[in-house]
Structure 1
Amino acid sequence: MNGPVIHDAWTLPVDDNINPYAFSVDLNGQWFLQKGKMVAYYGQIDFQGVGLGHLDHLIAHSFHSPLHAADWVVAEGHGKMVLADRAFDVNSYDLDDGNLSIRSGNLLAFQPSLSLKQSIVPGFLTLIGTGKFVAASNGPVVFMEPPIRVDPQALVGWADCPTPCHHYDHEYLRGFLGAVRSRTGIGGASGEEHQFEFVGAGTVLLQSTEEVVDEISVGETGGTGS
């Protein structure tokens, strides 16, 4: 009978998945890391908040999202980091002189060769440049080509294409649901009546569910505990 696979610092993969829900970063220098996404590490690694002392030059080059600064740290040193997020699917992606916007709750970590900026779409961040990043999704990611309309809750991000527009089904809104909304304020969140519309060249990333990977407050684990 085969037992579980037991890893150590030498058998963990190099910048690759351990399983569908955990990713191993081979750290030799610095990575940006969202707080709460590192579950274990081997080696000599320090974690420092964004904006501290000797990291000023790195922050000035790579981190331009003040609204999210408190949620991120810089992992610095040498070793292996294991990243995971509440048993969501985790994968790495490579940008080659690219431009990708991603829901802030989905982004786990990225190399400093990429520059992080605040997207004009609320709740999203934009990565620009060349490098690797790690992201979570609620189910496997599906890659789609515009023109396309997508449910906002299924949207993970978009790469190398224009910012989406809001699209509303006005006939649907004028019907029964519109009447309910006007009286109670309930309804209006489904993709059947409101979508993001993408046009032009590029790639749209969708997760295979409408349940969003929510951001959690710093220090929370997402579980109830005992």
Structure 2
Amino acid sequence: MRSDLFSPQNAEARMQQPGMKLQNSKMLKVGLNGEMMVRQGAMVAYQGNIQFQGQGAGGIGKFVKQQLTGEGVPLMRCSGTGDLFLADLASDIHLLDLEGPHDGLTINGKNVLAFEPTLSFDIRRVQGAGMLSNAGLFNCVFSGQGRIAITTKGTPVVLSVDQPTYADPQAAVCWSSSLQTGFHSAEQFGLGTLMGRTTGEAFTMSFSGQGFVVVQPSEEVPGGFVGGTGGGQQAGQSGASVAGVLGNFLGR
């Protein structure tokens, strides 16, 4: 059979050792020899002897936080040996290496694709988010040493924060966890309803300190009043669902 489809650029990416490698800009290849934490639903193909185990939001504590905040990462633990191929609605994929306990990354849970289990993460309130808004007021904070794959809708820009920096909260994908953040009414900057063109947001997010901010050329669809991944109805039902979870958990 003959076709351009079989050109070398579409062949499987070669890997010298286990880990993550971009198959292309829209697909991640994981050479698995052990374990990897992966977003549920991200697997598009695999080869070899691999087992999948659902992890909820990463433990009971993170599950409860996810229900309260609407943020988090529904995870599955992939273990075994083989090749795993991951994607998320043809979003662009980027690899970041965290290099120690003082190297932290704050990221919108929607943009987490996979990460090595050597990394630790928690769901925390974004500093300065003192007002109710559809912006993601709770994000995931990763720390430690290891590699993480994130997604963006389109090709992003990486802003070096060496001067006061501002971004639409729905377009900010991730930033150095050492940065100081704040939320401001767009009216303070004379922007009015010009901020949040597609989301109706009237807020802008500020960043200061030393670090970087990754901004994508698309705004995430807002969730409930505490933002992130759930709709308003889901957020409104959080209290009851969390109470049930805690009751079942503590009653064991």
Shared fold (TM-score, shorter chain, > 0.5): yes
Amino acid at match of 1:84: A
Letter in 2 for 1:95: L
Of 64-73 and 77-86, deviating more is: 64-73
> What does residue 133 of structure 1 align with?
148
Q: Report the Cα distance in structure 1 between the residues aligned to 2:108 and 2:72, rounded to whole angstroms.
A: 15
C-alpha distance 204-196 of structure 1, shift in aligned 2 (>3 A): same
**2:156 and 2:121 mapped to 1: Cα distance?**
21
Structure 2 residue matching 1:29: 3-state secondary structure: strand
Say if 2:175 and 2:214, in contact at 8 Å, map to a contact too: yes
Contact 1:64 1:117 in 2 (8 A): no
- Cross-structure match for 1:203: 212
Structure 1 position 173, deviation (Å)? 7.8
Structure 1 equivalent of residue 82 of structure 2: 79
Q: Structure 1 CA distance, aligned partners of 2:5 and 2:114?
A: 31
Is the alpha carbon distance of 1:170 and 1:34 closer, same or farther for their aligned partners in structure 2, counting shifts above 3 Å?
A: same
Aligned mate of 1:18, from 3, 18, 23 = 23
Whether 1:43 aligns to 2:48 is: yes
Identity of aligned residues (%): 29
**Aligned amino acid, residue 17 of structure 1:** L
Cα distance in structure 2, aligned partners of 1:123 and 1:42? 36
Q: Is the 8 A contact 1:161 1:203 kept in 2?
A: no
Q: How far apart, in 2, do the equivalents of 1:70 and 1:211 lie?
A: 16
Instruction: Tell me if structure 1 keeps the 8 A contact 2:54–2:75.
Output: yes
Structure 2 counterpart of 1:194, which letter?
F
- Specify every segment of 5 or more residues in structure 2 that has no aligned partner in the other structure, as ranges: 127-136, 223-227, 232-252
**Structure 1 position 111 matched with structure 2 position 116:** yes
1:152 to 2:163 alignment: no
1:4 to 6, 21, 40: 6
- How many angstroms does 1:106 deviate by? 0.6
Aligned length: 196
Partner SS state of residue 119, structure 1: strand
Matched with 1:32 is 37
Q: Is the 8 A contact 1:155 1:205 kept in 2?
A: yes
Q: C-alpha offsets along residues 126-170 of structure 1, whole Å, 9 cap, x if unaligned?
A: 111110011110011211122201011110011142341001133
1:168 to 185, 189, 192: 185
* Counterparts of 2:93 and 2:115, CA distance in 1: 13
Q: Residue 200 of structure 2 is aligned with which of 189, 204, 226?
A: 189
Contact 1:154 1:212 in 2 (8 A): no
Distance 1:2 1:188, change over 3 A: closer
In the alignment, what sits opposite 1:223?
none
Paired residues of 2:50 and 2:78 also in contact (CA < 8 A):
yes
Structure 1 residue 64: Cα displacement: 6.1
- Seen in structure 2, the aligned counterparts of structure 1 residues 107 and 64 have a Cα distance that, compared at 3 Å, is farther
1:15 to partner: Cα distance: 2.1
* Unmatched runs of 5 consecutive residues or more in structure 1: 52-58, 178-186, 218-226
Shift of 1:206: 0.8
